[in-house]
Amino acid sequence: MLTDLTIAQAKAGLEAKQFSALELTEAHLHGIDTLNPRLNAFLTVTAEAAREQAKAADAAIGRGDIRALTGIPLAIKDLFCTQGVRTTAASRILDSFVPPYESTVTANLLADGAVFVGKTNLDEFAMGSSNMTSAFGPVENPWKRRQDQNAILVPGGSSGGSAAAVAARLAMGATGTDTGGSIRQPASFCGLVGVKPSYGRCSRWGVVAFASSLDHPGPFARTVEDSAILLGSMASHDPKDSTSADRPVPDYRAACRRGVAGLRIGIPREYRVDGMSAEIEALWQQGIDWLRAAGAEIVDVSLPHTKYGLATYYIVAPAEASSNLARYDGVRYGLRRDGAELSDMYGNTRAAGFGTEVQRRILIGTYVLSAGYYDAYYLRAQKVRALILRDFTEAFAQVDALLTPTAPSAAFAQGEKMDDPVQMYLNDLFTVGANLAGVPASSVPAGLDSNGLPLGLQIVGRPFDEETVFAVSAEIERAAGFSALPAIRAGV
């Protein structure tokens, strides 16, 4: 099956002319036709444009112009602006928005020859951990519980559609964004590799903003090497993003082959939380044993402010969101609901256009930034954030990378954890620290739980040292030999 190939295999096959880029794209479009009505992973399918891009890729291959992603079908989270293609952020307020420009990350992928099959579903404005807050309906996780095939599981979030699409073989890779865990948690839930690079590594220009100091574009793929190929293409210095890093992009694919011999791997003791499931704890220990067997030195480290990460995040992220989302006022683009006066038009538009979770976060953010509460909430959170960064800096003086679980559980069912917002927020317990500190982190599928659902391990690295993250990720992948497949996938 062409849809089962990795990106690295497909590149080799295209180069050897074993199949054409058009055939490869058609195979994925056929999978989308068959499965997307059920999975709801794509909000927009760009079949005709994809065929044109694939034909152009075949012509390029014919003349020997083969780039990093020539002819590779990818899915794009519907938070990346794509020129001439509707971009919704899974919100009613952007229902009909058609960007007149292309985000830097997607422009980089197109310049490298990629084929875009469509735009993927997500939690509204990337606010969620289940894809349940999308204004266009939830996404079904292609994985099934062994004992309960009828339960519909969530793919995680916020990049749930991207994760479901890659897991179900509807695309070979995908873009995501990670503000508190929105790439790594869905990667863990869907048996994929997900990478959140360092802050500044991938441009945020043209990515619909949620929390600007925490938003990180990054890739999903089915192997570590594929994720390295994708990040190598997505990353660049971009003068249009003032926080974009002006440093060369290393050869990430080569870093996957470095091995871990001699590396010092930190195990943060504060991540061993009360009530951690025995399965997660056993998998974590397994990962430790694998790395030790491969020649790494295991070191206990302390990140003392770990337990305050989520509370810090739930001040900083809503504060930034309330500011970023002020632009949706019914004037320049998106939905408008009329009112007698201008202020009524604003209020009506935002009430009709934003969903419950988005409104909740805007209100929290407005409150923590408001006069009289700014110091008590926002300023205090920024100081705790500094302490969290200091924890990482001190740990990385002792070790080269950290190994932790990615998420506190495997994928849960639609409707679970919906009653109390704080219960849903706890999904990001292990991932949020890397966003607050801006350090690179990945999730790699490492095993299955007793229901046959995938579980990921997280690798966290020093700022701008994605190469070590890839090296350790590749070793976990090699040792785990993860070969389980989701029940729902193209070609089955």
Partner 1 sequence: MALDPTTIRRIATLARIQVDDDRLEPLSQELNGILGWIAQLNEVDVDGVEPLTGGAQMAMKMRDDAVTDGGYPDKILANAPDRNGAFFAVPKVVE
CB of 213 to partner 1, least distance (A): 4
**Helices of type H across 168-223:** 184-190
Q: Which amino acid is it at 138? A: P
Burial 114-150 (b: 16+ CB within 10 A, else e): bbbbbbbbbbbbbbbbbbbbbbbebbbbbbbbeeeee
Applying the rule CB under 8 A, the residues between 224 and 283 that interact with partner 1 are 239, 242-243, 245-246
Is 77 noted as a catalytic residue in this protein?
Answer: yes
Quick note: the x/- pattern for partner 1 over 428-457, rule CB under 8 A, is -------xxxxx------------------
CB of 25 to partner 1, least distance (A): 29
The angle formed by the CA atoms of residues 280, 285 and 291, to the nearest 5 degrees, is 130
Quick note: the x/- pattern for partner 1 over 279-318, rule CB under 8 A, is --------------------------x-xx--xx-xx---
Nearer to partner 1, 268 or 318 (CB): 318
Binding segment for partner 1 (CB under 8 A), chosen from 39-47, 102-110, 153-161, 322-330, is 322-330
Site for partner 1 contains 362 (CB under 8 A): yes
Is 473 noted as a catalytic residue in this protein?
Answer: no
Question: Which residue in 325, 270, 264, 274 sits closest to 297, CA to CA?
Answer: 264
* Residue linked to tokens 């006022």: 329
Give the integer Cα–Cα distance in Å for 316 and 368.
9
Nearer to partner 1, 84 or 491 (CB): 84
Tokens of 368: 């923590």
Nearer to partner 1, 90 or 424 (CB): 424
CB of 57 to partner 1, least distance (A): 28
Applying the rule CB under 8 A, the residues between 461 and 480 that interact with partner 1 are 463-464
Site for partner 1 contains 97 (CB under 8 A): yes
Applying the rule CB under 8 A, the residues between 152 and 211 that interact with partner 1 are 198-200
Applying the rule CB under 8 A, the residues between 103 and 132 that interact with partner 1 are none
Applying the rule CB under 8 A, the residues between 402 and 431 that interact with partner 1 are 420-422
CB of 349 to partner 1, least distance (A): 8
Q: Is omega for the bond preceding 158 within 30 degrees of 0, making it cis?
A: yes
Rounded to a whole number of angstroms, the CA Rg of the chain reads: 21
Site for partner 1 contains 136 (CB under 8 A): no
CB 267 within 8 A of CB 402: yes
Nearer to partner 1, 48 or 246 (CB): 246
Nearer to partner 1, 253 or 305 (CB): 305
Task: Pick the catalytic residue from 103, 134, 158, 244.
Answer: 158
Applying the rule CB under 8 A, the residues between 210 and 229 that interact with partner 1 are 212-214
CB 455 within 8 A of CB 279: yes
Site for partner 1 contains 327 (CB under 8 A): no
> Is 335 strand, coil or helix?
coil
Is 242 noted as a catalytic residue in this protein?
Answer: no
CB 61 within 8 A of CB 113: no
Give the integer Cα–Cα distance in Å for 44 and 46.
6
Nearer to partner 1, 140 or 215 (CB): 215
Residue 401 is given by DSSP the state: E
Nearer to partner 1, 320 or 475 (CB): 320
Site for partner 1 contains 367 (CB under 8 A): yes
CA 277 to chain centre: 24
Q: Which residues contact 306 (CB under 8 A, 6 or more apart)?
A: 268, 270, 271, 388, 391, 433
Residues tagged active-site:
77, 158, 182
